[in-house]
Structure 1
């Protein structure tokens, strides 16, 4: 029986929301566009970049400025976030991931980042080798909150939904899990507030990564 813990990346494993706001600002500056309110930018974290830029620019996703924004963002991402990756890891993450693996629980990432960007961030943070499965927004037709990302992780890991847990800091993560028949743990130290997270009806709400690990071990006991 394969047991798998699936993690979101930004705001769950790595404290990147503030750096993401800076990266969007750099992208808008390179485009010659007025910066957006940081609160508006934070509200898009967890969405695919195309959707985020469409919302922030107030244009359809097929507008020419959207791919330009994505390209500018990815360029800034390499200079703003990657050099700081190790310092952005949330407390307890490396130790907690190690404990899960020692208990025989596979670990995976399902993120709204493009696969290459997620791979680069995990590698820069020194965490890439902890995850056998990585599913990015461009690995699926329908990113979170659609269940396809969860289904993709289950297919690649060989786990059944009842033997999986999704961990995330936004309702997008939790709604994806629920739609895929996967239990979930919401973390309060990321983007969405406790009250926002509660609307998605997670199985548990955790205030630290240590609590996350404890909940996962409780939900995925050794058979």
Structure 2
């Protein structure tokens, strides 16, 4: 593999705490029951315009979500600095891949601007050639738009390209885009669920990202 496309949340960054606190606080501000940690993990990897309706009350209206989304974003921005961190060894792994001449990219269901700001805080922005966020594509994961944009923009060979993520949505996107796939088991979805999508690799430890052939 020459081209590595990464998901962000719970793949590179341990962001469950900020996602949990921001989501629950935003729902409470709307007067709704706060989603459980398990439900938030279940839908991690989806964009919030798709995941929040799945966790909201059945009588929620489109106008309610137009209020909810900016509340969530505001709370996320206020909470993130003290509640995000790279998974152990990830900075060195990205540095090593870059030094080996690998091309590193991001496709995320989060906002492009938020991810770039997080990367600057964590000191890893310099490793990535392109970041594709939720606002950069028409259809989010598991649709292939994000991966296809990376392949098109950078003239990549799909057979030398791999999508790496912690959720089935990442793996389905990669398969739909015709690239290789790797599921990481330290994130949102359990190994058994990732395995059901039949990725090319299942990776149990971050350091094993260096062993992808």
TM value normalised by structure 1: 0.90
Cα distance change, pair 37–4 in 1 and its aligned pair in 2 (3 A): same
Listed one character per residue, the Cα deviations across residues 129-184 of structure 1 (whole Å, up to 9, x for unaligned) are 21110001110001110011100111222211111111100000000001111111
CA separation of 1:186/1:34 partners in 2, compared to 1, >3 Å: closer, same or farther?
same
Superposition map of 1:17-28 within 5 A: 17-28=16-27
Which residue of the partner structure matches residue 118 of structure 2?
Answer: 121
Aligned to 2:145: 148
Aligned length: 213
What residue ranges of structure 1 are gaps of 5+ in the alignment? 219-223
Equivalent-residue separation in structure 2 for 1:113 and 1:48 (angstroms):
6
- Between the aligned partners of 2:139 and 2:203, the Cα distance in structure 1 is 27
Secondary structure in structure 1 of the residue aligned to 2:121:
helix
| RMSD across aligned positions (CA) | 1.7
1:61–1:185 distance in 2 versus 1, CA, 3 Å: farther
Whether contact under 8 Å (1:83, 1:124) holds in the other structure is no
Who is 1:79 aligned against?
78
Q: Which residue of 1 aligns with 2:50?
A: 51
**Residues 82, 120 of structure 1: 8 Å contact kept:** no
TM-score with structure 2 setting the length: 0.94
Among 83, 89, 92, the alignment partner of 1:92 is: 89
User: Any unmatched runs of 5+ in structure 2?
Assistant: none
